[in-house]
């Protein structure tokens, strides 16, 4: 096949302990999936999960032991961090039952759903899509993917984020409103999942702004840490 210009390279994420990398197909994100975060955003109660997407090439992969560089994005004065457990899909499927969902998981990673909160809030008020607030370039930093068999009990793991060494977010994955398997069930009812899909599962309470020069370090127990500087 010839193309009118070279196709864009596939975005990839490192895999812990392996030289092969994980090729990204799509990035799905779950909104308001921890109760205390839903509260801080002005919502209460359990609602069905809802989803938004980021472009696959919005991933900002950070190699093990490295400090990534996160460019401060344009058009915002309120860039927020959202630390999240990321589920990496290894086997696709549609209408996947929660009981079988974990068979579709390749592994897990620590990610950040970076958000231009001022733009997202403007779009919310106007009933417009969130894309400009959520789907910008480099908006999906992610550390190495740990294969599921080596990841330990992710469902109960601590999840945390520090900015310049100070705690901003600290919770456990057990606080998810819709757990990993339920999220895959809902998501695969709406889209056919493919190997290479990433699911950012939502953030606990404590979201807040960062500025140029800040160092973000976050983790999920068993999956290592993700470290970035805003530049
Ligand atoms: Mn999020």
Q: pLDDT tens digits, residue range 95-115?
A: 999 999 999 999 999 999 999
211 CA distance to ligand 1 centroid (A)? 19
32 CA distance to ligand 1 centroid (A)? 7
pLDDT of residue 35: 87
100 CA distance to ligand 1 centroid (A)? 25
CA distance 175 to 109: 17
- Other C-beta atoms closer than 10 Å to the C-beta of 56 total 19
Q: What is the helix (H) or strand (E) element at residue 161, kind and residue range?
A: strand 158-163
The listed CATH number (3.90.850.10, 1.10.150.120, 3.40.50.170, 3.30.210.10) that belongs to domain 12-230: 3.90.850.10
Helices (H) and strands (E) in the chain, counts: 5, 18
173 CA distance to ligand 1 centroid (A)? 14
Q: Which of 221, 170, 128 is nearest to 36 (CA)?
A: 170
83 CA distance to ligand 1 centroid (A)? 8
pLDDT of residue 208: 98
4 CA distance to ligand 1 centroid (A)? 36
106 CA distance to ligand 1 centroid (A)? 21
pLDDT of residue 27: 98
pLDDT of residue 68: 98
pLDDT of residue 42: 85
pLDDT of residue 37: 86
Q: Which of 31, 89, 85 is nearest to 56 (CA)?
A: 89
Q: What is the helix (H) or strand (E) element at residue 200, kind and residue range?
A: strand 198-200
84 CA distance to ligand 1 centroid (A)? 7
CA distance 47 to 221: 28
Model confidence pLDDT, tens digit, residues 166-195: 999 999 999 999 999 999 999 999 999 999
6 CA distance to ligand 1 centroid (A)? 33
pTM of the model: 0.97
Tell whether the model's pLDDT for residue 222 goes beyond 80.
Answer: yes
Model confidence pLDDT, tens digit, residues 69-99: 999 999 999 999 999 999 999 999 999 999 9
96 CA distance to ligand 1 centroid (A)? 23
CA distance 89 to 148: 10
137 CA distance to ligand 1 centroid (A)? 16
Model confidence pLDDT, tens digit, residues 6-65: 999 999 999 999 999 999 999 999 999 998 888 888 887 678 899 999 999 999 999 999
30 CA distance to ligand 1 centroid (A)? 6
Domain boundaries, the chain: 12-230
Model confidence pLDDT, tens digit, residues 117-168: 999 999 999 999 999 999 999 999 999 999 999 999 999 999 999 999 999 9
pLDDT of residue 40: 87
227 CA distance to ligand 1 centroid (A)? 18
């Amino acid at each position: 096949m010839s193309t009118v210009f070279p196709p864009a390279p596939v975005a990839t994420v490192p895999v812990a302990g392996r030289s092969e990398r994980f090729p990204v197909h799509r990035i799905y994100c779950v909104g308001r999936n921890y109760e205390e975060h839903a509260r801080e955003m002005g919502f209460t109660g359990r609602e069905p999960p809802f989803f938004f997407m980021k472009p696959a090439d919005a991933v900002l992969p950070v190699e093990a032991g490295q400090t990534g560089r996160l460019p401060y994005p344009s058009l915002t004065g309120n860039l927020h961090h959202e630390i999240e457990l990321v589920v990496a899909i290894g086997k696709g499927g549609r209408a996947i039952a929660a009981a079988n969902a974990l068979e579709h998981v390749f592994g897990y990673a620590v990610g950040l759903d970076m958000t231009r909160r001022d733009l997202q809030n403007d779009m919310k008020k106007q009933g417009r899509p969130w894309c400009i607030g959520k789907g910008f370039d480099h908006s999906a930093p992610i550390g190495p993917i740990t294969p599921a068999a080596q990841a330990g009990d992710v469902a109960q793991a601590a999840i945390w984020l520090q900015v310049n060494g100070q705690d901003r977010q600290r919770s456990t994955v057990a606080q998810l409103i819709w757990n990993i398997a339920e999220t895959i069930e809902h998501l695969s009812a709406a889209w056919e999942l493919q190997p290479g899909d990433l699911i950012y599962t939502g953030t606990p309470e404590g979201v807040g702004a960062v500025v140029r020069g800040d160092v973000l370090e976050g983790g999920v127990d068993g999956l290592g840490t993700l470290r970035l500087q805003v530049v």
